[in-house]
Amino acid sequence: MNDDKKTGISSRAKKSIVAGGLIGTFGFFVAKAIGLLYSIPFSSILGSDALMSYYGSAYRIYSYILNVFTAGAPMAIATMVAKYTTRKNSRTVLEVHRMSVLLMGLLGFLGMIVMFALSGVLGPIMADGTAEGADIMSKVLAILSLAIFFVPILSAYRGFIQGRKELQEYAFSQAFEQVFRVAFLLGVACLLVYGFHLASVWALYAAVLSTSVAAIAGIVQIFRFSKGTEHEVLQEARTEHRKAKPLKPLLMEFILICIPYLLFAVIGYANDIYDATLLPTGLRLSNYDAAQIQTMTSAVNYVGVKLTAIPMILSPGFTAAIIPHITASLEMNDMKAVRKDIRECINIVLYIALFLSFCILIYAKPLFYTLYYTDNLDLASQSVQWIAIEGFFGTITPIVTNMMMACKMRWPLLKQMLIAAIIKGIIMVPMVMFMGVAGAVLSTVISYGYIIWYSLKQMRIHFGVSFKSTLRLLVQTSICLGITALAIWAMYALGLGATGGSRIVCLLTTILSGLIACVIFGGLSLFFKIPQRLFHVRFNFAGRK
């Protein structure tokens, strides 16, 4: 591909929220697909539901603390960079970039201290009730706290290139970090367990350390790229006559943007804390024994998170495109573009997330049987099936809430999110006690469902967004999925994807079943002209004369 073609692709990606969203999503897809694939051999290296549970649960806490201490800063950085780029004030863009790297380093350091201090407190709460489990969990959290320092610095650079709409590099950065992380994780884990014959717990410690190592590598890579982007901004600054905005007003603007994002992180990501602490608490108060609790928490926080990460990559991918596009449209008072971007994002994410979540739900048992370690297949696969439903809502909710934030409806949204989070916190333990993992998922559906309903209603009232096309898409996609489900059940009856025999045979027949299901769903989607409407493409099956 020559330079002109590359420039053309980059230009189209910058102008189209759909193209930008898909490019961003592709980067996250590669990263998450790698994460899904490495989890298969890694679960065999660990060889324990308990160790898998500790690994998955620790990352729920890590994600929450990371989101709190980054305080929405990557979104704020992207918003400010996009704003001053639109206003053609390149000197201020450079000031925002320099300021953000320093601030994110400071926030990361504070977050690292907090997580390290809390590791001894949270370890016993999150473990299975044994002293050994509490000790391992505390050590895992302590090691993982180191990543809280490096990852925010990396996110500062990503916020800069996101605001500049360099979404191809944004996607590459995600994939590069994950590749480096997996290479370190599997390489060191295999060396410790199979080379030095150490206990599997050492592989667990190496795995959580890999996040910090990969973040350092990611910083080096994106720093080198951002130097080129900075040079481009410097060239633009030489042709402009505006002075850089003073640092103090910039800092105040940054803080004012971050405050609602901080509250959003504290409230919006509370589900990670709930699943890491309230889920095992509710299970211990029920009739489940320690082995069953380990199986369910491992299925939810390790395998379930890995599988549902596939549809949930749509959220960060399209959010990366939403922020600069909606910010620029609001700056130019182009409400028609805002409405168009909102509809396109929601419809595309809804369509893809429905199909991917459906596949996880219906193929949970054969996937678990062939790819992951567990002592209780039925209980583990049932847990993952429920988590597939939560994954769908966890994909849609961040999209609509980030739209609300970008559309400057932050405070009403945060109030409703606080109400939803409190309700979930109150009802989750009792629901888990009586319904197990299903209770945890249903409490999330109630919470997220309310937030989605409120957000769509506000966007309709304040911006005149019509969601008739979304409702039509939901009905048509549901019909396609219903017919596809009947076909998959028929294939199950014929033995495709059946568990209990050879794992290799089960995997191969599951893949065959999945391919047939994709063809059926794709054909039905084309019949209803769903891809044609969403991606603005035409299919000429009759050919041209």
Q: What pTM was computed for the model?
A: 0.71
Residue 8 has pLDDT above 70, yes or no: no
Question: Is 90 within 8 Å of 234 (Cβ atoms)?
Answer: yes
Q: Is the pLDDT of residue 405 over 90?
A: no
pLDDT digits (tens, 9 = 90+) for 275-304: 878 888 898 888 888 888 888 988 888 888
pLDDT higher at 433 or 235: 433
Tokens of 543: 């050919």
Give the pLDDT of residue 319: 61
Q: Report the pLDDT value the prediction gives residue 143, as an integer from 0 to 100.
A: 95
The interaxial angle of helices 200-238 and 167-190, nearest 10 deg, is 160
> What confidence tier does 32 reach under pLDDT thresholds 50, 70, 90?
low
Encoded tokens for 535 = 């991606």
Q: Which residue has the tokens 């294939």?
A: 491
| Span 171-194, average pLDDT | 89
Over residues 69-79, the pLDDT tens digits come to 886 788 788 88
Residue 139: predicted pLDDT = 94
pLDDT in tens, 35-84: 667 777 888 888 888 888 888 888 888 988 888 888 678 878 888 888 88
What mean pLDDT is predicted for residues 329-342?
81
SS3 at position 245: coil
- What pLDDT is recorded for position 15? 47
What is the Cα 290 distance to its own chain's centre? 30
Residue 308, pLDDT > 70, answer yes
| Residue written as token pair 């084309």 | 526
> Mean pLDDT, the chain, as a whole number?
84
For residue 157, what are the contacts with CB-CB under 8 A and spacing of at least 6? 101, 173, 219, 222, 223, 226
Instruction: Give the integer Cα–Cα distance in Å for 147 and 170.
Output: 20
Q: Give 177's contacts (C-beta < 8 A, 6+ positions apart).
A: 31, 154, 214, 215, 217, 218, 221
329: confidence class by pLDDT, cuts 50, 70, 90: confident
Model confidence pLDDT, tens digit, residues 109-126: 999 999 999 998 888 888
Q: What is the dihedral of CA 95, 100, 106, 110, to 10 degrees?
A: 150
Position 496 scores a pLDDT of: 86
Distance between CA atoms of residues 28 and 174, nearest Å: 6
Above 50 in pLDDT, residue 103?
yes
Q: Which residue has the higher pLDDT, 452 or 543?
A: 452
pLDDT of residue 25: 56
